[in-house]
Amino acid sequence: MAQILSGKDVSEEIRQGLKTEIEELKTSYPGFCPGLAIVQVGDRDDSNVYIGQKVKNAGAIGVTASHIKLPRTSTQSEVLDAVERLNSDPAVHGMIVQLPLDSENEIDSHRVTNAVRPEKDVDGLHQINAGKLSRGDLDSCILPCTPKGCLELIRRSGVTIAGATAVVVGRSKIVGSPMADLLKWNHATVTVCHSKTQNLPDIVKTADIVVVGIGRPQMVKGDWIKQGAVVIDCGINSIPDATKKSGKRLVGDVDFDEVKQVASWVTPVPGGVGPMTVAMLLQNTVEQARKMAAKCVAGKWNLELNPLKLVTPVPSDLVIAQSQTPKNIEILADEISLLKEEVDYYGKKKAKVSLKVLDRLQNHKNGKYVVVTGITPTPLGEGKSTTTIGLAQALGAQSKKNVFACVRQPSQGPTFGIKGGAAGGGYSQVIPMEEFNLHLTGDIHAITAANNLLAAQIEARMFHESTQTDEALYKRLVPDVKGQRTFSKIQLARLKKLGIGKTDANSFTPEEVKSFVRLDIDPTTITWQRVLDTNDRFLRKITVGQGPLEKGHTRECQFDIAVASEIMAILALTTGLRDMRERLGRMVVASSTSGVPVTADDLGVSGALTVLMKDAVRPNLMQTLEGTPVFVHAGPFANIAHGNSSIIADKIGLKLVGGDGFVVTECGFGADIGMEKFFNIKCRYSNLIPNAVVLVATIRALKMHGGGPTVTAGVPLPKEYIEENLDLLEKGCSNLRKQIENANKFGVPVVVAVNSFATDTPAEVALVQKFARENGAFDAIKCSHFAHGGLGAAELAEAVSKATQQPSNFKFLYSVEKSIEEKIETIAKEIYGADGIEILPAAQEQIDRYKKQGFNDFPICMAKTHLSLSHDPTKKGEPKGFTVPIREVRASIGAGFIYPLLGTMTTMPGLPTRPCFYDIDLDPETEEIVGLS
pLDDT digits (tens, 9 = 90+) for 296-316: 776 789 899 999 999 999 999
Q: Is residue 919 part of a domain?
A: no
Based on the domain organization, do 639 and 608 belong to the same domain? no
Segment 131-164, tens digit of pLDDT: 999 999 999 999 999 999 999 999 999 999 999 9
- CA proximity to 656, closest of 408, 301, 399, 348: 301
Task: Write down which residue in 773, 804, 835 finishes a domain.
Answer: 804
Based on the domain organization, do 278 and 346 belong to the same domain? no
Q: Is residue 309 part of a domain?
A: no
Based on the domain organization, do 48 and 106 belong to the same domain? yes
Segment 822-866, tens digit of pLDDT: 999 999 999 999 999 999 999 999 999 999 999 999 999 999 999
In CATH, what number is assigned to the domain containing residue 20?
3.40.50.720
d(CA 254, CA 260): 10
Separation in Å, CA 656 to CA 300, 338, 339, 409:
10, 8, 11, 21
Which residues form the domain of 251?
Answer: 3-287
The predicted model scores a pTM of: 0.89
Segment 724-739, tens digit of pLDDT: 999 999 999 999 999 9
Q: Is residue 310 part of a domain?
A: no
Task: Select the more confidently predicted residue: 706 or 90.
Answer: 706
Based on the domain organization, do 214 and 65 belong to the same domain? yes
SS3 category, 191: strand
Which pLDDT value is given to residue 421?
65
Task: Write down which residue in 581, 613, 645 finishes a domain.
Answer: 613
What amino acid positions are annotated as catalytic residues? 54
Segment 554-613, tens digit of pLDDT: 999 999 999 999 999 999 999 999 999 999 999 999 999 999 999 999 999 999 999 999
Which pLDDT value is given to residue 298?
64
In CATH, what number is assigned to the domain containing residue 893?
3.10.410.10
SS3 category, 931: coil
Label the pairing between strands 230-233 and 265-266.
parallel
Question: Which contiguous run of DSSP H or E holds residue 665?
Answer: strand 662-666
Based on the domain organization, do 505 and 619 belong to the same domain? no
Based on the domain organization, do 433 and 452 belong to the same domain? no
Which pLDDT value is given to residue 535?
87
Contacts of residue 212, defined as CB under 8 A and 6 or more positions apart, other chains included, come to: 169, 170, 219, 220, 231, 232, 233, 234, 235, 252, 253, 254
Based on the domain organization, do 279 and 359 belong to the same domain? no
Side chain identity, residue 728: L
Which pLDDT value is given to residue 638?
83
The residue ranges of DSSP E strands in 796-858, in sequence order, are: 836-839
Which pLDDT value is given to residue 653?
97
Segment 194-214, tens digit of pLDDT: 989 999 999 999 999 999 999
Question: By percentage, how much of the chain surpasses pLDDT 70?
Answer: 99
Which pLDDT value is given to residue 712?
79
Residue 909, pLDDT > 70, answer yes
Which pLDDT value is given to residue 247?
86
In CATH, what number is assigned to the domain containing residue 466?
3.30.1510.10
Strands ordered across the beta sheet of 64-70: 64-70, 35-41, 94-97
Segment 267-291, tens digit of pLDDT: 999 999 999 999 999 999 999 999 8
Based on the domain organization, do 415 and 502 belong to the same domain? no
Based on the domain organization, do 515 and 620 belong to the same domain? no
Q: Is residue 43 part of a domain?
A: yes
d(CA 288, CA 18): 13
Average pLDDT over residues 64-81: 96
Which pLDDT value is given to residue 419?
63
Q: Is residue 813 part of a domain?
A: no
SS3 category, 765: helix
In CATH, what number is assigned to the domain containing residue 323?
3.40.50.300
d(CA 150, CA 210): 11
Based on the domain organization, do 231 and 121 belong to the same domain? yes
Task: Write down which residue in 804, 839, 861 finishes a domain.
Answer: 804
Segment 158-192, tens digit of pLDDT: 999 999 999 999 999 999 999 999 999 999 999 99
Segment 497-547, tens digit of pLDDT: 999 999 999 999 999 999 999 999 999 999 999 999 988 899 999 999 998
Q: Is residue 50 part of a domain?
A: yes
Based on the domain organization, do 731 and 790 belong to the same domain? yes
Averaged confidence pLDDT in the chain: 94
Q: How far is CA 268 from the centre of its chain?
A: 52
* Stretch among 53-62, 145-154, 163-172, 708-717 having the lowest mean pLDDT: 708-717
Residue 418, pLDDT > 70, answer no
Based on the domain organization, do 475 and 501 belong to the same domain? yes
Q: Is residue 815 part of a domain?
A: no
- CA proximity to 493, closest of 403, 400, 603: 603
Confidence of residue 907 (pLDDT cuts 50, 70, 90): confident
d(CA 898, CA 858): 6
Average pLDDT over residues 675-692: 97
Domain count within the chain:
4
Average pLDDT over residues 246-273: 94
Q: Is residue 752 part of a domain?
A: yes
